[in-house]
């Protein structure tokens, strides 16, 4: 049982606000797939999924064990596994997950398993590479795929989809539109040869914002659900969902010339009060935030991090802050603080959020 005093509070009202914000951008018939991979972008995928289950049409996870965790928690909504691996296909079937089959290797492996089981019209998803060059079939693979599909009734294509490479970057608009057009051409070939019409989806969070005409049948909301729109204006219309808090474990008075932390990175030039907080780089606090580059909030005042970030702790300067041991410490509780941490760490909010360790207690409120 996790009784860590450092806790990530997940704001349920903010989740709903963000979901509804994107719903308003969609046509009434457009379905929503909520992405809860990577522990719900560093929060808690199970808690988020259970909270949103009656409000979305699909969930997506990256790997099969993430989907299994949702099923074991009682989530019954369809779950798309974005990156299934051959060795996990049996567990995907056992837990009624829906695999993305992105290559002939995994398609043939799943068909073999489906034949042995046997399965009938098991829902699968086919991903096509239209420019991201990560996972997916090529458009030239379509004739072979159609031939395979005609020879089996073990699987049924639940959806065809692709992934945009630069939907947030309007300078790459031509590239993105070309991706959408290529996907449309791929889809048409399937519609011309299949006796049914699979669902279609290509838009992610930024795609919903910038390319609303390409909604097709469903959209995938990931980072937007958690308060970031990959654009300052869009982010300002969303609400922060991640609130990371801790407490002061101990307060020290450091005399001039004394040092703080590993490698004696901080040297006191005058008498300094420091507070030690039980969170460190093993919890997702980048070492780049050390030596006054990062800060926390204590009693509504900024307390800069002094010295190097330790594995389990940070020390902050509280010389000008009226505080005591046990007082609450805010690591971040708004998009501006998260963005600042990302900027100082030379990364993006995605990484800042997903870096939050699983030993940090998670609580959806």
Examine the fold and report which residue of 228, 262, 277 is the final residue of a domain before the chain moves on.
Answer: 228
Q: Is residue 234 part of a domain?
A: no
Residue 317 sits in which domain range? Answer: 242-364
The confidence score (pLDDT) of residue 4 equals 86
Instruction: Kindly report, residue by residue over 243-287, the tens digit of the pLDDT.
Output: 999 999 999 999 999 999 999 999 999 999 999 999 999 999 999
The confidence score (pLDDT) of residue 18 equals 98
Task: Indicate the pTM of the whole model.
Answer: 0.95
Q: What is the mean pLDDT of the chain?
A: 97
Instruction: Kindly report, residue by residue over 186-201, the tens digit of the pLDDT.
Output: 999 999 999 999 999 9
Query: Cα 130 from chain centroid?
Result: 22
Q: Is-contact 88 107, C-beta < 8 A?
A: no
Q: Is residue 235 part of a domain?
A: no
The SS3 of residue 58 is: strand
Q: Is residue 233 part of a domain?
A: no
Q: Do 192 and 250 lie in a common domain? A: no
Q: Is-contact 79 41, C-beta < 8 A?
A: no
Q: Do 199 and 251 lie in a common domain? A: no
In the predicted model, is pLDDT for residue 39 greater than 90? yes
In the predicted model, is pLDDT for residue 171 greater than 90? yes
Examine the fold and report which residue of 228, 257, 284 is the final residue of a domain before the chain moves on.
Answer: 228
Instruction: Kindly report, residue by residue over 43-63, the tens digit of the pLDDT.
Output: 999 999 999 999 999 999 999
Q: Is residue 38 part of a domain?
A: yes
Pairing, β 250-254 against β 272-277: antiparallel
Q: Do 190 and 69 lie in a common domain? A: yes
CATH code, 341: 2.40.37.10
Query: Helix/strand/coil (H, E, C) string of 288-330?
Result: HHCCCCCEEEECCEEEEEECCCCCCCEEEECCCCCCCCCCEEE
In the predicted model, is pLDDT for residue 182 greater than 80? yes
The confidence score (pLDDT) of residue 3 equals 81
In the predicted model, is pLDDT for residue 1 greater than 80? no
Q: Is residue 294 part of a domain?
A: yes
Q: What is the mean pLDDT of residues 312-329?
A: 98
Examine the fold and report which residue of 228, 256, 282 is the final residue of a domain before the chain moves on.
Answer: 228
The confidence score (pLDDT) of residue 244 equals 98
Q: Do 248 and 357 lie in a common domain? A: yes
């Amino acid at each position: 049982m996790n009784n860590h005093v450092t806790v990530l509070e997940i704001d349920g009202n903010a989740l709903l606000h963000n979901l509804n914000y994107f719903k308003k951008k969609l046509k009434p018939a457009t379905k929503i797939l909520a992405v809860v991979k990577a522990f719900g972008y560093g929060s808690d995928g199970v808690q988020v999924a259970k909270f949103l289950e009656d409000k979305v049409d699909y969930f997506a996870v990256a790997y099969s064990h993430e989907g299994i965790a949702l099923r074991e928690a009682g989530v019954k909504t369809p779950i798309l596994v974005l990156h299934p691996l051959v060795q996990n296909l049996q567990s995907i079937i056992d837990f009624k997950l829906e695999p993305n089959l992105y290559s002939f290797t995994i398609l043939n492996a799943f068909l073999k398993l489906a034949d042995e089981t046997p399965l009938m019209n098991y829902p699968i998803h086919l991903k096509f590479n239209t420019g991201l060059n990560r996972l997916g079939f090529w458009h030239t693979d379509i004739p072979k795929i159609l031939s395979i599909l005609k020879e089996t009734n073990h699987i049924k294509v639940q959806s065809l989809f692709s992934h945009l490479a630069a939907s947030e970057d309007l300078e790459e608009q031509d590239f993105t539109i070309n991706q959408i057009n290529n996907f449309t051409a791929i889809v048409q070939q399937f519609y011309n040869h299949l006796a049914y019409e699979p669902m279609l989806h290509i838009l992610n969070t930024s795609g919903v914002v910038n390319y609303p005409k390409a909604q097709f049948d469903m959209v995938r909301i990931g980072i937007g659900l958690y308060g970031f729109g990959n654009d300052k204006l869009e982010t300002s219309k969303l609400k922060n969902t991640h609130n990371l808090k801790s407490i002061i474990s101990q307060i020290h008075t450091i005399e001039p010339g004394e040092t703080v932390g590993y490698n004696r990175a901080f040297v006191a030039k005058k008498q300094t009060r420091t507070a030690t907080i039980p969170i460190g780089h093993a919890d997702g606090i980048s070492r780049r935030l050390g030596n006054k580059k990062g800060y926390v909030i204590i009693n509504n005042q900024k307390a800069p991090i002094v010295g190097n970030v330790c594995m389990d702790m940070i020390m902050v300067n509280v010389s000008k802050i009226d505080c005591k041991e046990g007082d609450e410490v805010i690591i971040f509780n708004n998009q501006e603080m998260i963005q600042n941490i990302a900027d100082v760490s030379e990364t993006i909010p995605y990484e800042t959020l997903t870096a939050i360790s699983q030993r940090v207690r998670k609580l959806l409120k």
